[in-house]
Amino acid sequence: MSKIDLYRNVHMGQRARLFTLAVELGTADISHRGTATEQSVRCLAMTQELREHADHEDTFIHQLLRERAPEAADALEAEHMRLDAAFVALDERARTLPTTPVDALADAQHALYLALNEVISAYLAHLHVEETVAMPALWEYASEKELGAAFAAFRASRTQEQALTDLRRMLPALPPPTRAAIVRDVIKAAGERAAGTLAAATTTLTPDQRGRLYEDLAVPEAWALQDPEYA
């Protein structure tokens, strides 16, 4: 039986979307009407999401870490300070981009691109500490029951729509067996709403990913379109 990993899957989703955002910001045609605002909104949404994620970790994971492995918790606090500064710099660049004069837009776009990549650099280092220092410390000093309780408490704190958003962000970045295992548990818990929940949770998958998932679940794809509320 594999150990409970509180970081792995969600971090894979975050990496994938950060990398995608960097590529798409770098290649965006900033001269096109509305593009500056679109890219600004995307960057601000990302920093908001990452801040909320850090709050969730503090609430449901890191309190246990501080109790059992304070040195590992201290390492994360140092990473948070660097991250906060990078988030602020990115937010400032993002907010000013839509009002930048046309003749300065290209330079402003690149400055925002650099600020985003500074966030990515800092965030990757932070994820590495969580995955190679914090999680091993929790495996050593906390029981599987305690780790399971932490994960269950987080899930219980999410509304149905928040839980679906979490899945949509994470599932495209996971390998097929992991994706299928997660979705299998989700639709099992959904009961009579299983079909609609499956359809709603998989909207961000590519056609190939979705086809493989339905194959792994051994269900016809049409089954997930039965619930009009989620279709």
Q: What is the pTM of this model?
A: 0.91
pLDDT, tens digit (0-9, with 9 covering 90-100), for 45-54 = 999 999 999 9
Nearest-CA neighbor of 73 among 140, 14, 3, 135?
Answer: 135
DSSP notation for 153-191 = HHHHHS-HHHHHHHHHHHGGGS-HHHHHHHHHHHHHHHG
Predicted pLDDT of residue 230: 44
Query: What is the C-alpha to C-alpha distance for residues 189 and 197, in angstroms, rounded to an integer?
Result: 10
Cα–Cα distances in Å, from 180 out to 156, 175, 205, 214? 21, 9, 12, 8
Walk me through the domains of the chain, giving residue ranges and CATH numbers: 8-152 (1.20.120.520), 160-225 (no CATH)
Q: Packing angle between helix 176-190 and helix 160-170, nearest 10 degrees?
A: 170
Contact between 208 and 56 (Cβ < 8 Å): no
Predicted pLDDT of residue 231: 42
Handedness of CA 66, 71, 74, 78 (dihedral sign): negative
Query: What is the C-alpha to C-alpha distance for residues 42 and 59, in angstroms, rounded to an integer?
Result: 26
Instruction: List the chain residues with pLDDT less than 50.
Output: 228, 230-231
Residue showing tokens 């770098």: 26
Query: What is the C-alpha to C-alpha distance for residues 84 and 100, in angstroms, rounded to an integer?
Result: 25
Predicted pLDDT of residue 224: 61
